[in-house]
């Protein structure tokens, strides 16, 4: 998206429409009824995602920046604000599924209205205005991409609680490799190192500042843990052996009756199936294990005699490996599920795509972190407690969205994202 | 519906289609998105109602009674069973709103499939089969009418939690009387009296047996309590004066912050508006107060120096008053909201229509009550604890559904039905 | 206690001290630490009971009636008011176990202080004052007796949650009959009958007024259901067969994992033991089953092809049987546990003592019921919703406290009282 | 406690009895009733603390190490195990307050029994056994000191929920300084630095290993934030201004109605009092603010334009300041409440004593951390999620227990410990 900064208005406009169109493509496979469901407080209805990302452009760009802009509907700001306390009151999160009105058709009208205005804004802004617009405009595009991923994981959850197990995609997935490559250990060089975003291209506020850190020499696995490996942990009594677990993790195991990854369902013949965006399917044993909580990832690592990597280890390993998003299994691949990958090189692979990887690092501000001024300052900083950082990206992350400095974060008991793990160990 | 018992197949078939069509007419004003919402565990989505009443005919009539009947879908029995434990497992009640699939279109297909089969069953049954069919067939029709009322109260609730306050009916309501008639006290004669269904025409199991009871002479009000009167109670500190309240009622007031009837909303100018099926409207002070819990009804009565009637008092008063459903404000009137009524005669009026009236009688079996054999035995009897009986009918009760022996019942803290009260006192 | 009404001051004073002493005798077997425990919100610490019954005399008799009475402590009214909303704020019920201060010694000082003042009041009251005092004084004594029973059931609960299973009484219980007499059915004559307190002697407000009622001829069992009989129900899958249960009862079975009476504990050898006030002991199969909820009582009756009696049936049967409290297993017997009784006569036996008997009657006001004026009007009436009436008395009811018109009441899921059942059926 | 390692048996024995006696001195001011109370799940009764620390020596030293040791009671292991899952089942934490039995007298008997046996073990161990014993023996002493602090904070909580506001100490506190010294900023030198325990003397497992880390130059405040300063934050709308708060912190403010530090109580004249171990007293404005959650500490720092220090910054500042525990306001001072301190030198002061200081560091394993083998491996490591690290010590930390490498940890919403904060900022 770096064309934006150069001031190429036509490119920026095309990019805007491409991102907006990608969101609509995600939604297009779903009926209005499907887009209505909110199956838990952490998730949102698809149509709410469609409206909320639109509200972002309306609120942060059009209202302050486009002369004569007419708000589409006076109550939409209340309905589609997600959490920006500074922007005003908002509809209670767990009640998003109650909104049969506005109907999907009106939300598509809202999108068209905002798209027209945005097109005008991008065309008509003076040079001075353009400079002001660019940061928020770019943020809006990346924000919308985040919601593309969330919309897919949320609908997966919604379909998973329906006894009919509906499929988002009807076709069977493409064949993948029958087996995963053997796990190799790859070195990570210690010392005073630098991590964080270097300022070239877009980054979220939480990736800044670029800063020095110290780490000891370490090793990181060449690929994520597979379903077959995780099944070994299960077969070895992993969920019943308290010694592997953090205290809060053990409490979660007991209270929530965890005995397998989130979407696994034991079949009558004793085998395991997995709910996927293509419906209920046999677990692909060669693929990376997914939909694990941090607690499960940490317990697996303890059982395996290893540990999770730190953020710094992961980022330095990824920088050394010169990862290329084009090789990754992301949303662009259309598979929408993790798969085993060939493992050609010497370094770690599959760092992008397939599954987000839990690290052992609590989500915290980098030294010198400053939130942005104004309401968008609420973007990331206020979540820096009680959550753990994940690195990489997943099989439903939009192309162009991933970076090796990207810091994703979830609570340690959350499981509905495509979350897996990669082992690390001291050198 | 008494033509059914006579064996008039054509009349029975016509009645079946009329009742089924009435349900669809209730749903027809709603989009598929609207029909999806479940706004609390006590309520169900409209499309679930459409399917559940259909499941009743399929389960209790077609599967056992129609040779060669092909089940529409193997999972629908699981999805659309409401509470019949004997019939098998069922989808969790609070998760009914999660069912974007089957889509509304499939549920309409289900209805058509069952309607075809029912038409065939009604035509082809032998005389012996007919005799067996009639009780369950009649029950199925009354059951479907109950769900017409529930569908309307449930969608009212669903729309009430939407900040846009959608209207089920767009047009303003017809003008009603500007004032309520003065309250008169009407005598109820005591002694050994008989109440309960006499066996002429349909009655639910809980209305049987017809039996003797003793009551003292009493008096009952000529009409329900109005909004104006209830506002007096509020203005007199009714919600803040513990002495008026049952202990559990006072706990509900405190925990749920009750300060007015359920759908009342205080306006910025200090006046009260009320959410109705025609959207948010000023409270009609002459109309019967509605959406009260039993606790509020009992507290009002205590404040007014009166009490709620017993079931027996209400039924005997209604029998003496020779109520005529045709005069009542029911679903047939199309108003869908309580309204003041002229009060011409000497006895009590407005006993049917407008609002269900809380009695002081706990919902309990009549002496000699026996539940029906088989799964339909679960129809009413198992709910005979912790609930209070209501009498009459409401502004959304279908025509032909009400009877003076009808025993409706809800938990004493429930408020989303059209529930009001009529005062009584010892003679 | 009827000497009081005659104005015999010495007898009244002696009675006062006898009742007060009986409360202290109940507490005397417990350490200060034991008297501190509140093991659930429904229960209270023993020392709280000691103080609360004292507060009753201080608040309703001494403060208004004894010139120059000096309140013992300014905060005790706040701490030891149970639920009289009209009397002022009060300490939260579930936090009663947090009161290490005042220590037990201070509470005993409070009792002595109030006893002195009460002695003076009883001696010094003028005739006119005496007439005013008598109703509240008598109520205070019966109130204190109620708390003697509650103190014993509450400490039983507190000890039951201690893995050491402490015994309130160390000695083994006296031998009881090895078997229960065969169950006989005894007639109850229907027609217009009169029930309720006739005004001779003390009665709580809820036993009034004496009034007419109608009942059909019926039959009532000669004795309560025994543990052996209840075990048959369990062995026949009683807790797993939904058809026996009320809907709310079935929900309680599932949510609370009920599989036996409250204090039964399955032993390693498969037999059942029962926690008693003498510690954990083998279940006495001949004794009446106890610590059942209303739901369990009703399910047992349904399984047995019978039903629970109504209040009127129970009271009329008891009147006909001319029950004699002296024959009953009450607190006076010192057994503190239900036991089988010989069954000599023709009519029903064991109506008093052993176990409170659930009826099928919801706890409701008698026709014409009026609560007392002032704060004591909160005594019973405000609880007349959601509870079921029990009749008789139990093995821990103080002598002189029981009456056949007595109406005890608990919520249908409560199990910590000595609650059992007696079957009834239509004639 | 370093004499232990040298093998001086007499010194070790004396130390053992000194630590054990200090625990009993803490309890001695409380009645058996006081020692019974558990006022929330996070807290434990005093008598449970007395028993639990004893269980530690019995379980980890006497049973495995003393030939012929006779367990005091077969159920105590179940009752007094705190959380060591590997050691077996245990009594549910929130039910600790239900244990009136064993009475306090028995627990004191348990202590004497174990003390005798420990004395014997310390005297009779062979040299080889001694070497094995020392680590667990030392751990047991530090463990017991931790529970001295917890017992005091737990009884403070228990007394705080009693409307009588009992005082643990009756005497007024000694006079303290009238004002706090002005806040100065003290430099912390960045670069590659070493933190963690260096192996000289005792340290908990979580203080190891000594390791390198990187930090930027920073500044740290010369003293903790005072009550006067915190009141400025409150007066400036601190609790009502969302921008200062972490998202989870804001949720806690709203759900728990926070408006002041935990033990502050607004008086009728508008001033603030504070519940202390000497009862309810006016807030000492010069003293460090205490009983703050991490969220409040972080919000204050944000409001003040500063931040919380990292663990490394705090430890390096403390090392440079050459802190001396003898100058600190700890348990030894007998004040049992934070107080202002003179601030003589150039560097930061009051690092030990008064209040634990929240850092911005999530509680996590140091690089290379390895839990101990066996059950004591559960000591610290399994809590390394969702908690924040605190540094320093408090006014109720036993003398000899504090170290600048000490890592205390609590959940970010917990407030019942003596927890405050010190500001830091980037240089």
Q: What is the pLDDT of residues B72-120, one digit of tens each?
A: 999 999 999 887 777 777 888 888 999 999 999 999 999 999 999 999 9
Q: Given this model, what pLDDT does residue A344 score?
A: 67
* Interface contact D163-C79, CB threshold 8 A: yes
C-alpha closest to that of B329 among B247, B393, B407, B409: B393
| Helix/strand/coil for B65 | helix
Residue from C92, C100, C107 whose CB has the most chain D CBs within 10 Å, to mutate: C100
Residues above pLDDT 90, as percent of chain A: 87
Average pLDDT for C141-152: 98
Q: Which residues of D touch C165 (CB under 8 A)?
A: none
Output A349 or D3, whichever has higher pLDDT.
A349
Chains with 3+ CB–CB pairs under 8 A to D are A, C
What was the pLDDT predicted at D295?
98
State residue B196 phi and psi, 5-degree precision. Answer: 95, 170
User: For helices A104-124 and A46-57, what crossing angle results, to 10°?
Assistant: 20
Name the β-bridge partners of D282: D273
Distances from the Cα of D197 to the Cαs of A426, D206, D397, in angstroms? 20, 9, 19
Query: Is it the case that chain B and chain C have 3 or more CB pairs lying under 8 Å apart?
Result: yes
Compute CA distances D189 → A12, C77, D343, D384, whole Å: 46, 61, 21, 28
Which of A196, A189, A226 is closest to A422 using CA atoms?
A226
Residue D392 has pLDDT above 80, yes or no: yes
Of the candidates D253, D44, D22, the one whose C-alpha atom is nearest the C-alpha of residue D156 is: D44
The C-alpha atoms of residue A81 and residue A78 are separated, in whole angstroms, by 6
Q: Is D385 on the interface with A (CB under 8 A)?
A: yes
Q: Rounded to 10 degrees, what is the CA torsion of D59, D64, D65, D67?
A: 110
Asked if A34 is an interface residue toward chain B (Cβ–Cβ < 8 A), one would say: yes
- Residue scoring higher pLDDT (C4 or A11): A11
Average pLDDT score over chain A: 94
What chain A residue is nearest to D425 in terms of C-alpha separation?
A: A368
Q: Which residues of B are less than 8 Å from C249 in CB distance?
A: 385
Chain B touched by C374 (CB under 8 Å): no
Which residues in chain B touch residue A39, judged by CB atoms under 8 angstroms apart? Answer: 98
Cα–Cα nearest to B1, from B100, B145, B114: B145
Select from B305, B366, B367 the residue whose CB has the most chain C CBs within 10 Å, as the one to mutate to test that interface. Answer: B367
Residue C79: closest C-alpha in chain D: D163
Q: Choose the weakest-confidence range: A284-293, B53-62, B338-347, D34-43.
A: B338-347
Of A84, A311, A386, which to mutate for an interface test with D (greatest number of D Cβ within 10 Å)? A386
pLDDT of residue A33: 98
The Cα of D211 is separated from the nearest Cα of chain A by a number of Å equal to 9
pLDDT tens-digit readout, B1-44: 556 766 789 999 999 999 999 999 999 999 999 999 999 999 99
Q: What are chain A's partners, defined as 3 or more CB pairs within 8 angstroms?
A: B, D
For range A261-273, the mean pLDDT? 97
Q: List CB contacts of C208: < 8 A, sequence separation 6 or more.
A: C196, C197, C199, C366, C369
The answer on pLDDT for A86 being more than 80 is no
Query: pLDDT band at C93, cuts 50/70/90?
Result: confident
> Hey, is the C-beta of B164 within 8 angstroms of any chain A C-beta?
yes
Nearest-by-Cβ selection for D36 from C33, C91, C164: C33
Judge B/D contact: 3 or more CB pairs < 8 A.
no
Q: Which residues of A touch B98 (CB under 8 A)?
A: 37, 39, 158, 161-162
Percent of chain D with pLDDT over 90: 87
**Alpha helices by DSSP H, A39-126:** 46-57, 63-65, 76-80, 104-124
Does the pLDDT value for residue C134 go beyond 70?
Answer: yes
**What DSSP designation does A417 have?**
S
Q: Report the alpha-carbon distance of residue B403 to residue A379 in Å, rounded.
A: 60
Q: Hey, are the CB atoms on A75 and B36 less than 8 Å from each other?
A: no
**Dihedral (CA of D235, D239, D240, D241) sign:** positive
Is the peptide bond between A121 and the residue preceding it cis, with omega within 30 degrees of 0? Answer: no
Distance from CA of C242 to the nearest CA of B (A): 7
- The answer, yes or no, to whether residue C324 has pLDDT greater than 90, is no
The CA distance from B28 to B21, in Å, is 10
pLDDT for A3: 60
Residues D424, D227: contact at Cβ < 8 Å?
A: no
Q: How far apart are CA A67 and CA A71, in angstroms?
A: 12
Q: How large is the average pLDDT for residues D357-386?
A: 89
Contact flag C367-B212 (C-beta cutoff 8 Å): no
pLDDT tens digits in sequence order for chain B, 427 residues long: 556 766 789 999 999 999 999 999 999 999 999 999 999 999 999 999 999 999 999 999 999 999 999 999 999 999 998 877 777 778 888 889 999 999 999 999 999 999 999 999 999 999 999 999 999 999 999 999 999 999 999 999 999 999 999 999 999 888 878 889 999 999 999 999 999 999 999 999 999 999 999 999 999 999 999 999 999 999 999 999 999 999 999 999 999 999 999 999 999 999 999 999 999 999 999 999 999 999 999 999 999 999 999 999 999 999 999 888 888 999 999 999 999 987 667 899 999 999 999 999 999 999 999 887 777 777 788 999 999 999 999 999 999 999 999 999 999 999 999 999 999 999 9
Do A213 and D216 count as a contact with CB atoms less than 8 A apart?
Answer: no
- Strand duo A356-362 + A419-420: pairing: parallel
CA–CA separation, A161 vs B95, rounded Å? Answer: 8
- A158–B39 C-beta distance less than 8 A: no
Distance (Å) of CA D300 to CA C226, D250, D284: 66, 13, 19
Contact state of B386 with C384 under an 8 Å Cβ cutoff: no
Average pLDDT over residues D398-420: 97
Q: Which residue on chain B is closest to A99 by alpha carbon?
A: B162
Convert the pLDDT of each residue in D176-202 to its tens digit: 788 899 999 999 999 999 999 999 999
- By C-alpha distance, the chain A residue nearest D383 is A247
Best mutation target among A48, A96, A101, A102 (most B Cβ atoms within 10 Å) is: A101
Closest residue on chain B to A94 (Cα): B39
C248 in contact with chain B, both atoms CB, cutoff 8 A: yes
A310 touches A388 (CB < 8 A)? no
CB contact under 8 A, A161 and B95: yes
Contact D194/A at CB under 8 A: no
Query: Distance between CA C322 and CA A368 in Å, rounded?
Result: 88
Pick B412's closest partner by Cβ from C83, C385, C426. C385
Q: What is the CA radius of gyration of chain A?
A: 22
Q: In terms of C-beta distances under 8 Å and separation of at least 24 residues, what long-range contacts does D229-235 make, across chains too?
A: D229/D289, D229/D304, D230/D261, D230/D289, D230/D292, D230/D300, D231/D272, D231/D283, D231/D285, D233/D299, D233/D300, D233/D303, D233/D304, D234/D259, D234/D260
Tell me the torsion sign for CA atoms D92, D93, D97, D103: positive
Q: Which among B33, B47, B104, B161 is the top mutation candidate for probing chain A, defined by the most A β-carbons within 10 Å of its own β-carbon?
A: B33
Tell whether C382 is within 8 A of chain B (Cβ): yes
Which residue blocks in D81-126 are alpha helix, DSSP H? 104-124
Using a CB-CB distance cutoff of 8 angstroms, which residues of chain B are in contact with residue A102?
164
HSE-up (13 A, CA, CB side) for residue D355: 28
Whether chain C has a CB inside 8 Å of the CB on B92: the answer is no
Q: Please report how many Cα atoms fall inside a 13 Å half-sphere around the Cα of residue D229, on the Cβ side.
A: 24
- Asked if the model's pLDDT at residue D127 lies above 70, the reply is yes
Phi, psi of A48 (to 5 degrees): -70, -40
pLDDT > 70? residue D41: yes
| Dihedral class, residue B322 (left if φ above 0, else alpha if ψ from -120 to 50, else beta) | left
**B217-240 burial string, b = 16+ CB within 10 Å, else e?**
ebbbbbbbbbbbbbbebbeeebbe
What average pLDDT score do residues D166-173 get?
A: 94
What is the count of residue pairs from C and D with beta carbons less than 8 Å apart?
76
Q: Decide if C27 touches D, using CB distance below 8 A.
A: no
D312 contacts on A by Cβ (under 8 Å): none
A294: chain D residues, CB-CB within 8 Å: 385
Structure tokens belonging to residue B245: 């309240």
- Higher pLDDT pick, D306 / D377: D306
Q: What is the pLDDT of residue B24?
A: 98
Mean pLDDT of C136-165: 97
- Residue D3's pLDDT band (cuts 50, 70, 90): low
Going by pLDDT thresholds of 50, 70 and 90, the confidence category of residue A7 is confident
Cβ burial of A342 (10 Å; 0-12, 13-18, 19+) is: exposed
**Cβ-nearest to B246 among C367, C385, C426:** C385
Residue D2: the pLDDT is: 58
Phi/psi at A275 (5° precision) = -80, 130
| A369 interfacial to chain D (CB closer than 8 Å) | no
Mean pLDDT, to the nearest integer, of C50-74? 96
Whether residue D37 and residue C104 make contact (CB cut-off 8 A), yes or no, is: no
Residue A86 contacts D where some CB pair is shorter than 8 Å: yes
Q: How confident is the model at residue A378 (pLDDT cuts 50, 70, 90)?
A: confident
pLDDT confidence bin for C11, thresholds 50/70/90: very high
- The answer on pLDDT for C1 being more than 60 is no
pLDDT-based confidence at residue D52 (cuts at 50, 70, 90): very high
> In the Cβ-directed half-sphere of A189, how many Cα atoms lie within 13 Å?
7
pLDDT attached to residue A2: 58
Rounded Cα gap, residues B150 and B53, in angstroms? 12
3-state secondary structure chain C: CCCHHHCCHHHHHHHHHHHHHHHHHHHHCCCCCHHHCCCCCCCCCHHHHHHHHHHHHHHHHHHHHCCCCCCCCCCHHHHHCCCCHHHCCCCCHHHHHHCCCCCHHHHHHHHHHHHHHHHHHHHHCCHHHHHHHHHHHHHHHHHHHHHHHHHHHHHHHHHHCCCCCCCCCCCCCCCCCCCCCCCCEEEECCEEEEECCCCCCCCCHHHCCCEEEEECCEEEECCCCEHHHHHHHHHCCHHHCHHHCCHHHHHHHHHHCCCCCCCEEECCCCCEEEEECCEEEECCCCCECCCCCHHHHHHHHHHCCCECCCHHHHHHHHHHHCCCHHHCCCHHHCCCCCCCCCCCCCCCCCCCCCCEEEEEEECCCCCCCCCCCCHHHHCCHHHCCCCEEEECCCCCCCCCCCCCCCCEEECCCCCCCCEECCCEEEC
Picking from D37, D99, D101, the nearest residue to C100 by CB comes out as D37
Residues in A touching D389 (Cβ below 8 Å): none
User: d(Cα B302, Cα B247) in Å, to the nearest integer?
Assistant: 13
Pure H helices in B161-277: 227-235, 247-256
**What would the two tokens of residue A208 be?**
């800044």
Residues B145/B146/B148/B154 CA torsion (nearest 10 deg): 180
Which residues, at least 6 apart from D237, have a Cβ–Cβ distance to it below 8 Å?
none
**Which helix (DSSP H) or strand (DSSP E) does residue B131 occupy?**
helix B127-160
Flag whether residue D155 sits within 8 Å of chain C, measured between CB atoms: no
> What pLDDT is recorded for position A243?
92
Is it the case that residue D84 has pLDDT exceeding 80? Answer: no
Q: Whole-number mean pLDDT of chain C?
A: 94
Predicted local distance difference test score (pLDDT) of residue B344 = 67
Q: What is the pLDDT of residues B224-246, one digit of tens each?
A: 999 999 999 999 999 999 999 99
Contact between A385 and D216 using a beta-carbon 8 Å cutoff? no
Q: What is the average pLDDT across C302-316?
A: 98
Question: Is D11's pLDDT higher than 60?
Answer: yes
Chains linked to C by 3 or more Cβ pairs within 8 Å: B, D
Instruction: Please give the pLDDT value at position A162.
Output: 96
Cβ-defined contact of D166 to C36 (cutoff 8 Å): no
Domain topology for B185-426: 3.90.1580
**Whole-model pTM?**
0.96
End-to-end CA gap in chain C: 38
Strand order in the sheet with C424-426: C185-188, C218-221, C424-426
């Amino acid at each position: 998206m770096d064309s934006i900064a150069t001031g190429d208005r036509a490119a920026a406009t095309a990019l805007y429409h491409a991102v907006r169109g990608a969101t609509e493509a995600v939604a297009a496979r779903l009926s209005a009824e499907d887009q209505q469901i909110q199956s838990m407080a952490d998730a949102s209805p698809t149509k709410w995602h469609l409206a909320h990302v639109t509200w972002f452009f309306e609120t942060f760009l059009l209202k302050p920046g486009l002369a004569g802009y007419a708000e589409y509907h006076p109550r939409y700001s209340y309905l589609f604000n997600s959490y920006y306390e500074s922007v005003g009151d908002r509809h209670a999160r767990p009640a998003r599924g109650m909104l049969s009105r506005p109907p999907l058709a009106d939300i598509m009208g809202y999108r068209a209205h905002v798209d027209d205005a945005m097109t005008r804004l991008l065309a008509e802004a003076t040079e001075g205005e353009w400079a002001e617009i660019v940061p928020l405009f770019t943020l809006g595009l990346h924000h919308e991409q985040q919601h593309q991923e969330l919309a897919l994981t949320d609908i997966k959850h919604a379909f998973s609680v329906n006894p009919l197990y509906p499929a988002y995609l009807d076709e069977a997935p493409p064949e993948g490799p029958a087996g995963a490559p053997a796990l190799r250990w790859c070195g990570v060089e210690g010392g005073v190192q630098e991590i964080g975003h270097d300022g070239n291209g877009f980054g979220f506020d939480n990736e800044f500042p670029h800063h020095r850190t110290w780490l000891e020499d370490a090793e990181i696995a060449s690929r994520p843990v597979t379903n077959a490996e995780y099944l070994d942990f299960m077969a070895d009594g992993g969920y019943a052996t308290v010694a592997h677990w953090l205290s809060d993790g053990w409490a979660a195991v007991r209270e929530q009756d965890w005995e397998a990854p989130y979407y696994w369902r034991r079949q009558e013949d004793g085998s395991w199936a997995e709910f996927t965006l293509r419906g209920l399917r046999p677990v692909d044993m060669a693929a990376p294990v997914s939909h694990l909580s941090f607690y499960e990832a940490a317990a697996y690592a303890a059982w395996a005699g290893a540990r999770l990597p730190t953020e710094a280890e992961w980022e330095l390993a990824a920088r050394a490996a010169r990862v290329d998003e084009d090789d990754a299994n992301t949303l662009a691949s259309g598979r929408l599920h993790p798969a085993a990958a060939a493992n050609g090189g010497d370094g770690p692979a599959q760092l992008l795509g397939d599954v987000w990887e839990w690290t052992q690092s609590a989500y915290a501000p980098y030294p010198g972190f400053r939130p942005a001024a104004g309401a968008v300052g609420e973007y990331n900083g206020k979540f820096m407690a009680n959550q753990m950082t994940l690195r990489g990206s997943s099989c439903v992350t939009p192309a162009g969205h991933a970076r090796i400095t990207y810091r994703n974060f979830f609570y340690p008991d959350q499981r509905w994202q495509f979350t897996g793990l990669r082992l690390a160990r001291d050198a």
